[in-house]
C-alpha cells in the first residue's frame, strides 16, 4: 500500500484561544494530503476535472486523540483504504513529528461522478487510464476491492 507523507506546520490562525488546533482544520489537512497523494499518481485534481470527473466527499470522520498545538510540525499520512470503480475511501493519520505520536485518525469517502450530470460513474469503464493510476497506488495486502 502506498502512503503519501505531507509535512505541515501548525499556523497561529489554525488554533483557538487555548493554542490548540480547532477541529475543523484537520479536514483541510486531509485535503492537502489527498491532493499530494493524487499528484503522486501522476495526475492532479485539475487534470481529473478536465476529464469531466469530480470526486466529491460523500462521508467523512475523524477521531481526535490529542490536540495539535501552535507551531507543531505534523506529518499527514494519506492512503487509499478501499477502492471500487464508483468510490474511494481515503484514510489519514495526523502525526506530530517530534515524537511520532498519532494525534488524529480520519477518513473521507469520495464518489466518482460525471461533472456534467453529477451522476456516479464506473471509473474503470468510463476513464480506465485514471482508474489504473489510482489502482497502482492501492495495493492492500489482501486484494479487497469494494464491489459497489
| Backbone φ/ψ region at 33: left (φ over 0), alpha (ψ -120 to 50), beta | alpha
Cell numbers placing 18: 487555548
Task: Say which of 16, 99, 114, 129 is annotated catalytic.
Answer: 16
Nearest-angstrom CA–CA distance, 116 and 85: 18
**Residue of 71, 143, 69, 65 whose CA lies nearest to 104:** 65
Cell numbers placing 11: 499556523
Residue 16 catalytic?
Answer: yes
Which residues form the catalytic set? 16
Amino acid at each position: 500500500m502506498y502512503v503519501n507523507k505531507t509535512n505541515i506546520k501548525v499556523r497561529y490562525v489554525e488554533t483557538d484561544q487555548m493554542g490548540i488546533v480547532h477541529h475543523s482544520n484537520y479536514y483541510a489537512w486531509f485535503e492537502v494530503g489527498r491532493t499530494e497523494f493524487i499528484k503522486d499518481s501522476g495526475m492532479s485534481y485539475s487534470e481529473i476535472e478536465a476529464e469531466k470527473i469530480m470526486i466529491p466527499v460523500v462521508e467523512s470522520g475523524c477521531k481526535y486523540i490529542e490536540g495539535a498545538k501552535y507551531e507543531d510540525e505534523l506529518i499527514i499520512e494519506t492512503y487509499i483504504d478501499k477502492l471500487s470503480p464508483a468510490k474511494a475511501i481515503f484514510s489519514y493519520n495526523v502525526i506530530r513529528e517530534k515524537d511520532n505520536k498519532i494525534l488524529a485518525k480520519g477518513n473521507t469517502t469520495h464518489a466518482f461522478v460525471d461533472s456534467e450530470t453529477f451522476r456516479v460513474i464506473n471509473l474503470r469503464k468510463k476513464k480506465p487510464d485514471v482508474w489504473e493510476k489510482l489502482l497502482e497506488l492501492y495495493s492492500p495486502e489482501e486484494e479487497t476491492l469494494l464491489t459497489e
